[in-house]
Structure formats: C-alpha cells, structure tokens
Structure 1
Amino acid sequence: MIKWVAAFLGYFIFRFPGAVLGFIVGSLFDNMGGSNGGGRNVFQDLTRQSVSPADFELNLLSLCSIVIKADGQVSQRELDYVRQYFLSTYGKEKANAIFRTFNDVIKKREVSAQRICSYLVQRTRYEVRLQLLHFLFGIAQADGQVSKAEVIKLRELAGYLRVGQHDFESIMAMFIKSADNAYKILEIEKTVSDDEVKKAYRTMAKKYHPDRVVTENEAIKKGAEEKFKEVQKAYEIIQKERGIS
C-alpha cells in the first residue's frame, strides 16, 4: 500500500521519474513492515533479515553448549540457567521440547563456533550480539564463577560475533569483579579526567538504555535494564571515589 501512495506523491511532485522513485522507496517500506511476524524468540526481535526460529534456536543452543562445556564439565546450575531462559521465553511445553534437543546438542563432540557465529553476524544487529554475549556470560556465571577457560572461550566467541574489544571487556566486568571494574564497565582508563568520566557515562548509558531496545519481549527488556543498572552503579562508584558531583 505504501508503495502506491509514494508513487502517487512522487508523480505529483516530479512526474514520471518521481513516481518510479516513490514506488521503489515505498516498496522497501512495505517489505520492512511485512517482515515482522509473531512467535519470534528473545533475540530475534532485532534481526537484520528473516531468520527461521528453528535455525536460530539450534544455533543459540549450540553456543550455550559450547560455553557450558568450556571448562571441561557440565554444571547442573548452568543447565538450569539455560532451561529457565527457555521456560520464561516459550512456556513449559515448548521449552521441554527445545531442551530435549539441547541435551542432544550437549552430547555432540564437535560444534563449529565460527560457523554458528558467522551465521548470526550475517543475520543479527550488533545490539543483539551484545545481548547474546551478556546471556552467555550469565550461563558461565550460573555455577558461581566464570572460570579462565570460560573467559577464553567467551573471548573467542566474541571475536567470531565481531563484538568490539571494549564492549567485551565492559560486559565481562559486569560478571567478573576487579579493582578497576567500574572503569572497565565504562570502557575508560583510571587516568582519564573527570570530564571524560562524565562523557563516558553518558555514552554508555545511551548505548545500554532500555529505550534503545525496541521490543515487547520482557526477557530482552530485562537484560537491557540489567546492563543499564551496571553502568549506573559503575558511575556512582567512580563518583564517590573522585568526589564528582
């Protein structure tokens, strides 16, 4: 419908060339509007192009299994973390069916992380990949700590997902505490000026603000809110440390 309206307006203003241009532009909007379907999972709300829910679920399950097996053992608490995610996203019946597939994936010896991440990079926006990395860190921490082996694997996955180094360090700092943790979350060095601290906070608050995640899915909203709160906490810590008003 939009393409015909745009074509009419284009013709009215620029005659035939304007009608052609208006039709093309309007078609793009029609296609964008028609691509939004129901029944998508948490991370699919911000996809670049249409992705089969089954394909996405399988790839997501595979990444979960890679993280769970990264330290050489399968933790029940990490399995429960993944199970809870699917329960909250799909409901009990579908979650149970998906988790049966997950158990099969866990038992597989070889899963190509690079291939899976390449698939996701081509089909998801950067914001979704940040959220995905945050979710994978949550799995690693579910048993009480993120091991060195898990950090190495998560860093490898972040590289395949084309997540920037500063963003990786920032998300990792939300799960692994250290002396300069607050600075890592804001992606700055401890030597920066107070003005640079304020600027970094505004930048990070904007990046992780829940309003930037346009979705009705509660799981994505919750993840965005958690990251936003961590950014706020980090800034408050630095404020107190430096006496920034």
Structure 2
Amino acid sequence: MGNFTKWLGAGLGFTFGGPIGAAIGFAIGSFVDGFSEDDLKQERIDYERQRNSGKSRGGNNTQSGDFEMSLLVLASIVIKSDGKIDEKELDFVRNQFVNMYGKQRANSAFKLFNGIVKKDISARQVCIQIRQHMPHASRLQLIHFLFGIAKADGFVTESEVEEIRKIAGYLYINDKDYISIKAMFYDESDNAYKILEISKSVTDAEVKKAYRKMVKKYHPDKLQDLGEEHLKGANEKFQRIQEAYDRIKKERGM
C-alpha cells in the first residue's frame, strides 16, 4: 500500500485536497481496510516535506497526476449519468489510460477508478477545484476525453450530453468551444463549420481566419506542461481541426 500512495504523492498537486482528494481517499479506502482520507493527507504532507527539503523534484501547481485524477473523477460522473455503467465505456477508459500511461500506471489508475465510480460526487464542486488550478487548454482536453468516453458504446445518450454540457459550464468553457468539441464526435453535414466555430455563410477569408485561430487555441504545445503522455489526445483534437478545414476548402474549391 505504501508504494501505491507514494505513486500518488509523486504525481499529484492540487488534487490531493478538496472534493477530488476526498474521492481518491474514498476509492483507496474501498480496497484497503482501515485507510482513511487523513492517511492520504499525511502522504501529501510527507511528499511536501521531501520536496521542500530537496529530496523530491519540484513541480508546478498542476501536475500530470492532477490531470489524470481529474479525468478519473469526471469520467466516473459521465459514465453514471445514464443510470448504468457500460462495460464498453469502462473498456474505453482503461484503454485510454494504458495508451497514455503504460500498463502498470494505468492499472493503478483504473483500480482507483473502480472505487471512485462507487461514490456520489458533486460535478460542480469538482469543477470548481479544477478550474482554480488548471489552464483553459487543459480543461478543453478534459471535455474532449469525456465525449470519447460517452461515444465508446457507439452512441451518446442525451443524459451524457447534458452531463458533459454541465461540466463544461462549470469549467468555464463557453458554448462555442463546447459545440466545437462535441462536433468532433458526430458525422453531420455542417460539423466542419461547427468545429471551426463558424457558420456556412462566412467568406473564404473568414474561414482561413477561423482556422488560424483554432490552430492557435488547440495546438498541442499548450499541453506540454502536462507531460508527453497527454499529448496524444491533444494531437487527435488538433487533427480534427485540420480535417474540418480541409473539408471546407474542398467543398468551396478554395
């Protein structure tokens, strides 16, 4: 158990406290008898003491593990939103974590997830904690990941869409950004325009301007601080921007 919490301590910053920290503590307690949230807080104290004494690496307020835990908690909320836990969605979460973190770290994360998903969690409180510490580009990436989970079983239910919309609002992600990311997971005639956050009535010059704006907003370099493991999702999102632009250019003969 010590190695497990040490793994957490080495990768977490702001998510050690607040509602996310409480969910992590509950999850660990579900598979470790006698473990409490206070034990988790003590691990955080020990980690900070080590870091301040120069025995551990420094880090900014939002670390790779913070993004990881935020994903787990928000994913648990979305998966339960339709009143059932779908095995395909669970497999998607597991596979995404294996792809990002490797099998060993992913197994530890998913072990936590199986505990977190059993706990009733306030999406609003969790999102308040996230937005206080996580930059906008990282919050956009969270929403992209959540739509991927919801679509894993072949379709997105209205309850899942509504839950992700609420989460986006709590994370201070505006409607244009939300609609753009949502459109990346649907195959509709005007999706390319939605992805670039424009209407079909715009001029060719406005299309090019919108594309340059979206490239700047979604460039994977904005997630460099979260580590190499999170860049794959960023690259997928960036690719959808490029595909949308190419489709519009082809339709218009640009």
TM-score (norm 1): 0.74
Letter in 2 for 1:80: D
The partner residue of 1:143 within 122, 140, 153 is: 153
Deviation at 1:51, TM superposition (A): 4.8
The partner residue of 2:71 within 60, 65, 83 is: 60
The reply on whether 1:101 has 2:118 as its aligned counterpart is no
Q: 1:150 to 1:93 in 2, by over 3 A?
A: same
The reply on whether 1:179 has 2:189 as its aligned counterpart is yes
Partner of 1:194: 204
Contact 2:64 2:227 in 1 (8 A): no
Deviation at 1:154, TM superposition (A): 0.5
Deviation at 1:155, TM superposition (A): 0.4
Q: 1:178 to 1:207 in 2, by over 3 A?
A: same
Within 2, Cα distance between the matches of 1:216 and 1:55?
Answer: 9
Partner of 1:78: 89
Q: 1:49 to 1:213 in 2, by over 3 A?
A: closer
Deviation at 1:205, TM superposition (A): 1.6
The reply on whether 1:127 has 2:99 as its aligned counterpart is no
Q: 1:196 to 1:75 in 2, by over 3 A?
A: same
Within 2, Cα distance between the matches of 1:39 and 1:106?
Answer: 23
User: Which runs of no fewer than 5 residues in structure 1 stay unpaired?
Assistant: 1-37
The reply on whether 1:168 has 2:178 as its aligned counterpart is yes
SS at match of 1:211: helix
Which is higher, the Rg of structure 1 or of structure 2? Answer: 1
Within 2, Cα distance between the matches of 1:104 and 1:49?
Answer: 27
Contact 1:62 1:105 in 2 (8 A): yes
Q: 1:216 to 1:130 in 2, by over 3 A?
A: closer
Deviation at 1:215, TM superposition (A): 4.5
Q: Which has the higher contact order (CA 8 A, sep 6+)?
A: 2
TM-score (norm 2): 0.71
Within 2, Cα distance between the matches of 1:122 and 1:215?
Answer: 17
Partner of 1:21: none
**Identity %, equivalent residues:** 51
User: Which runs of no fewer than 5 residues in structure 2 stay unpaired?
Assistant: 1-8, 16-58
Deviations 1:39-89 (A, max 9, x none): 548xx9xxx952587766544322111111122221111111111233234
Partner of 1:240: 250
SS at match of 1:199: helix
Q: 1:210 to 1:57 in 2, by over 3 A?
A: closer
Within 2, Cα distance between the matches of 1:130 and 1:242?
Answer: 29
Q: 1:188 to 1:50 in 2, by over 3 A?
A: same
- Work out the number of aligned pairs and report it: 201
Partner of 1:50: 61
Deviations 1:168-197 (A, max 9, x none): 111000012222100000000111111111
Within 1, Cα distance between the matches of 2:169 and 2:76?
Answer: 18
Q: 1:136 to 1:237 in 2, by over 3 A?
A: same
Q: 1:203 to 1:54 in 2, by over 3 A?
A: closer
